[in-house]
Amino acid sequence: GAGVSQSPSNKVTEKGKDVELRCDPISGHTALYWYRQSLGQGLEFLIYFQGNSAPDKSGLPSDRFSAERTGGSVSTLTIQRTQQEDSAVYLCASSLDGLGPQHFGDGTRLSIL
Amino acid sequence: SQQGEEDPQALSIQEGENATMNCSYKTSINNLQWYRQNSGRGLVHLILIRSNEREKHSGRLRVTLDTSKKSSSLLITASRAADTASYFCATDAREYGNKLVFGAGTILRVKS
């Protein structure tokens, strides 16, 4: 597709379970970002991948959060042992070179029961 | 507090009126960007203004940047009901590793 694609669009899971969220960026975009957005709030930066460089993980809130980007394309964000405070919308974005506009997916709405 | 902060938090206007949203930030920036978010959707990039620019236009959008006051404004002229959305400013600053830092947004409601 032409845009950033995220799956699943909604995820409901029980506290303590692990979840994996997927992001397919725009083809050819070297930069990929993950953000978290709580209800009615702005975006909280989580992690940033740029080409083959080591990712910037400075926004990950705890060691339960990790992310990978395979082959410079698809990325997965994994949350282990989920907690209720992890409930939020997780947004992925990509940009051509990390310097200009970011293109967002529609997010994954994660609900932890 | 956050690098970018918008005001007002919420704005309600009649269709046809102009809407002005403001953004203040704290550090020197490379550029400032404005995004729109419709309910339940991702963010859509509207306009990017570089630190050496003072004003930029795109259709009904006008963005100004005052680096001396560390502030920016987004003006939407002749608003339409379809402009109802949340609007976010985001700053790209060397201090933050050239990552975008988003404000909490302004919720705009345009009544028809």
Tens-of-pLDDT digits for all 113 residues of chain A? 589 999 999 999 999 999 999 999 999 999 999 999 998 788 999 999 998 899 999 999 999 999 999 887 999 999 999 999 999 999 999 999 888 899 999 999 999 99
User: Which residues of chain A lie closer than 8 angstroms to B45, CB-CB?
Assistant: 101-103
Backbone φ and ψ of A48, nearest 5°: -140, 125
pLDDT band at B3; cut points 50, 70, 90: low
User: Closest residue of A to B33, CA-based?
Assistant: A101
Query: How confident is the model at residue B96, as a pLDDT?
Result: 80
**Which residues from B are below 8 Å from A105, CB to CB?**
42
Sign of the four-CA dihedral A7, A79, A75, A103: positive
User: What pLDDT score does A97 carry?
Assistant: 85
| Angstrom distance (rounded) from CA A33 to CA A45 | 8
Chain B residues touching A45 at Cβ < 8 A: 99-101
Which residue of chain B has the CA closest to A90? B42
Mean pLDDT of B54-59: 97
Best interface-test mutation with B: which of A9, A90, A104 has the largest number of B CBs within 10 A?
A: A104
- pLDDT value of position B61: 98
Residues of A in contact with B35 (CB under 8 A): 104
Report chain A residues whose CB lies below 8 A from the CB of B87. Answer: none
Quickly state the pLDDT bin for B1 (edges 50, 70, 90): very low
Nearest CA in chain B to A46: B99
Closest partner CB to A104 (pick from B43, B48, B104): B43
Interface test with A, best of B32, B92, B100, B109 (most A CBs within 10 A): B100
A44-48, Cβ contacts within 8 angstroms, sequence gap of 24 or more: A45/B99, A45/B100, A45/B101, A46/A77, A46/A90, A47/A77, A48/A98, A48/B99
Helix (H, G, I), strand (E, B) or coil at B86: strand
